[in-house]
Chains A and B, each alone.
Chain A
Amino acid sequence: MKSIAERKVLLQVNNIKQHFTVKNDALFKPKTVVKAVDGISFELYEGETLSIVGESGCGKSTTGRAILRLDEPSAGEIYFGGENLLTVKKKDMRKLRGDLQVIFQDPFASLNPRQKVKQILNEAMATQKSVVKEKRPERMKELLEYVGLPLESLERYPHEFSGGQRQRIGIARALAVHPKLIICDEAVSALDVSIQAQILNLLKQLQRQFNLTFLFISHDLSVVRHVSDRVMVMYLGKIVEIADKKSLFDKPMHPYTHALLSSIPVPDPTIKHERIILKGDVPSPINPPKGCRFHTRCPFATDLCQETEPELRELEKGHFVSCHMVEKI
């Protein structure tokens, strides 16, 4: 991998926020706002895999959906190839969508049950006009080859495939439009472990082949460890730590990352494994705690943490942490 300075930024996310208004039945009470993502910024370099990890409800998927503009973010900027995706017109956005593709979690819900594989792939190419009509049959064969499905698959419906195969169809659909960035939203979470490995290896192989950039959203740390170049940890709609995979797994700095990493089971009973159990539950994103969002569960929290929100600081090269207490821990 090239050093950070040489690499080209493909996607730049500046301070995006995604606030959802929850329906409130009372007429005169103020509306409840869920701050699913509350001001996060990061860069994605061409050809790398950046993983977003965090527990359920921390805003990982929301971030992915915001970048794809599947939900309009409430605020912020997303620069992709020099253009702010959030200000381009709907019509131009449709063209840009070819560069940004997505692979979803649930292989049973991500394919239209009434379309044959042929129709699914054809539609992708037709919508983006990525391949002229005459060349599409040829291209479909190619795509199936890339993802390792037999040619007969074209004439079949999604229900005739297993979960792993469906996920391959989903990948073929994403590849059909020559994307630069693929967002994998829990792309292997619904699969068996052995199938997970196959799909992850396929993704890696395709990444090399087509110089793809992945934004890999997952809650599974072992998967993240396997695929990522860099890892970003989120908690309650905020980034707590971003670093190279090696640096993050070997030398986590944020107390939350510590706790998260300690939850990875170690397959060796002789190793003494210290598990950090956090007290309490994740606070509600409707009314997140003041100051550092983690202070309610942090064993090192001080008065400062309760009052002032920590900034994301670069403590080592490429290793950013948002914690007041890092140096003292």
Chain B
Amino acid sequence: MSIEVKSELNHSVSQVLNKPKESQIKNALAILLSNKAAMIGAMIIIFYLLIALFAPLLAPYDPYAINLDNKFIPPSADHWMGTDDKGRDILSRLLYGSRLSMGVGFAAVAFGALFGIMCGLIAGYYGKWVDSIIMRVMDILLAFPGILLALAIIAALGPSLINVTIAVGAFSVPLFARIVRGSTLEVKKLEYIDAVRSLGANDFVIIFKHILPNILSPIIIQGTLRLATAILSAAGLSFLGLGAQPPSPEWGTMLSSGRDFLFSAPYIALFPGLAISILVLGFNIFGDGLRDALDPRMKN
């Protein structure tokens, strides 16, 4: 009797795991579309992406043009967000800066995801000492507070936007590795992996053709949520003077240069700050919605 109970149990577990692919996607899309918060998040993200794409067409002024006669103009009809201490139009700078800030975010997450997925797949699939070594290294990376780790990396590599990307990416690696390892362990046990193994498929084929496509949902969810953190961290590092250097309209840098005039001209820091907050909020609520839609088990 106990055997039958067990097999029924396995049955339902794998049914959940192997929910039909197409209906699963349709289902997820329906949940996502009916989630108001997620849709607002999506709209924010799309809005920012369009801005980044069309920045040169939208910007009313040259973001780098210094005009000392026009400095510290409060928001007005000519300069909707005012001008900064060197007379540059803040709106134009924000529009151009979206390319830098979001670009760094995307690049950092892509970098972190690439290495994290690799490490997670290898650790999860091979297990044993390979797993122990890789995951202990990941634990070490995780043991540092993210910003501190980034500071250390930048201290070693020198301040620049590319190094910020590497630094922010580096502390995303262990997060991706953990999630991918967990999912790999789960999928690896399924019988179709044994079936392709008994057909004589090599590890490379099994990992990339049979495991990776079946663990994409948690990776996508993690990626979206990480984008918010990555953009925030990159702006934070630039604010500290470790990333983009002054004339560049990166939002963190703009925030940093507005800091000196917080009382006399608060709008210089206000708008870049708002731009960062709203974008991060957008990614966060969209990521949450995506998680609810793609992977109901991950709730809470």
A128 sits at the interface (CB 8 A) = yes
Do residues B2 and A56 form an inter-chain contact, with CB atoms below 8 A?
yes
Q: How many angstroms from the CA of A159 to the CA of B27 in the assembled complex?
A: 14
Which residues 95-136 in A have Cβ within 8 Å of B in the complex?
A: 95, 97-98, 100-102, 104-106, 108-114, 123-124, 127-128
Q: How many angstroms from the CA of A309 to the CA of B186 in the assembled complex?
A: 39
Q: Which residues of A contact B201 (CB under 8 A)?
A: 123, 127
* Size class of the B contact interface (CB-based, 8 Å): 20 to 34
Which residues 1-34 in B have Cβ within 8 Å of A in the complex?
A: 2-4, 6-7, 10-11, 14-15, 17-23
Q: A109-B14, A109-B190 are in contact. Are A95 and B200 (CB under 8 A)?
A: yes
Residue in chain B with minimal CB distance to A70: B194
Q: Which residues of A contact B76 (CB under 8 A)?
A: none
Do residues A102 and B7 form an inter-chain contact, with CB atoms below 8 A?
no
Do residues B7 and A186 form an inter-chain contact, with CB atoms below 8 A?
yes
Do residues B192 and A111 form an inter-chain contact, with CB atoms below 8 A?
yes
Residue in chain B with minimal CB distance to A219: B3
Do residues B15 and A108 form an inter-chain contact, with CB atoms below 8 A?
yes
Q: Which residues of B contact A227 (CB under 8 A)?
A: none
Do residues B199 and A128 form an inter-chain contact, with CB atoms below 8 A?
yes
Do residues A109 and B22 form an inter-chain contact, with CB atoms below 8 A?
no
Q: How many angstroms from the CA of A98 to the CA of B210 in the assembled complex?
A: 19
Q: How many angstroms from the CA of A311 to the CA of B198 in the assembled complex?
A: 33
Q: Which residues of B contact A298 (CB under 8 A)?
A: none
Do residues A157 and B199 form an inter-chain contact, with CB atoms below 8 A?
no
Do residues A159 and B18 form an inter-chain contact, with CB atoms below 8 A?
yes
Q: How many angstroms from the CA of A128 to the CA of B200 in the assembled complex?
A: 7
Q: Which residues of B contact A106 (CB under 8 A)?
A: 7, 10-11, 14, 191
Which residues 203-225 in A have Cβ within 8 Å of B in the complex?
A: 219
B202 sits at the interface (CB 8 A) = yes
Do residues B3 and A56 form an inter-chain contact, with CB atoms below 8 A?
yes
Which listed residue, B19, B21, B197, B205, touches A70 by the CB 8 Å rule? B197
Do residues A190 and B192 form an inter-chain contact, with CB atoms below 8 A?
no
B143 sits at the interface (CB 8 A) = no
Instruction: Give the total of A residues in contact with B, Cβ under 8 Å.
Output: 38
Residue in chain B with minimal CB distance to A96: B200
A173 sits at the interface (CB 8 A) = yes
B196 sits at the interface (CB 8 A) = yes
Q: Which residues of A contact B14 (CB under 8 A)?
A: 106, 108-109
Residue in chain A with minimal CB distance to B212: A114
Q: How many angstroms from the CA of A104 to the CA of B14 in the assembled complex?
A: 13
Do residues A100 and B198 form an inter-chain contact, with CB atoms below 8 A?
yes
Do residues A127 and B196 form an inter-chain contact, with CB atoms below 8 A?
yes
A68 sits at the interface (CB 8 A) = yes
Do residues B191 and A94 form an inter-chain contact, with CB atoms below 8 A?
no
Q: How many angstroms from the CA of A157 to the CA of B213 in the assembled complex?
A: 14
B214 sits at the interface (CB 8 A) = yes
Q: Which residues of A contact B197 (CB under 8 A)?
A: 70
Residue among B4, B192, B213 facing the most chain A CB atoms (10 A cut-off): B192
Do residues A102 and B195 form an inter-chain contact, with CB atoms below 8 A?
yes
Give per-residue flags for B113-136: 1 if the beta carbon is below 8 A from chain A beta carbons, else 0: 000000000000000000000000
A residues engaging B (CB < 8 A)? 55-56, 65, 68, 70, 93-95, 97-98, 100-102, 104-106, 108-114, 123-124, 127-128, 157-160, 170, 173, 177, 186, 189-190, 219
What are 28 A-B pairs at a CB distance below 8 A? A55-B2, A56-B3, A56-B6, A70-B197, A98-B200, A100-B198, A104-B194, A106-B7, A108-B14, A108-B18, A110-B190, A111-B192, A111-B195, A112-B196, A113-B18, A113-B214, A114-B213, A123-B196, A127-B200, A128-B199, A128-B200, A157-B22, A158-B18, A159-B20, A159-B21, A177-B199, A186-B7, A219-B3
B residues engaging A (CB < 8 A)? 2-4, 6-7, 10-11, 14-15, 17-23, 190-192, 194-202, 205, 209-210, 213-214
Given A106-B11, A112-B210, A113-B18, 20 other A-B residues pairs in contact with their CB atoms under 8 A: A55-B2, A56-B3, A70-B194, A93-B200, A97-B200, A98-B199, A98-B200, A108-B14, A108-B15, A110-B190, A112-B192, A112-B214, A113-B19, A114-B21, A123-B196, A127-B199, A127-B201, A128-B199, A159-B19, A189-B4
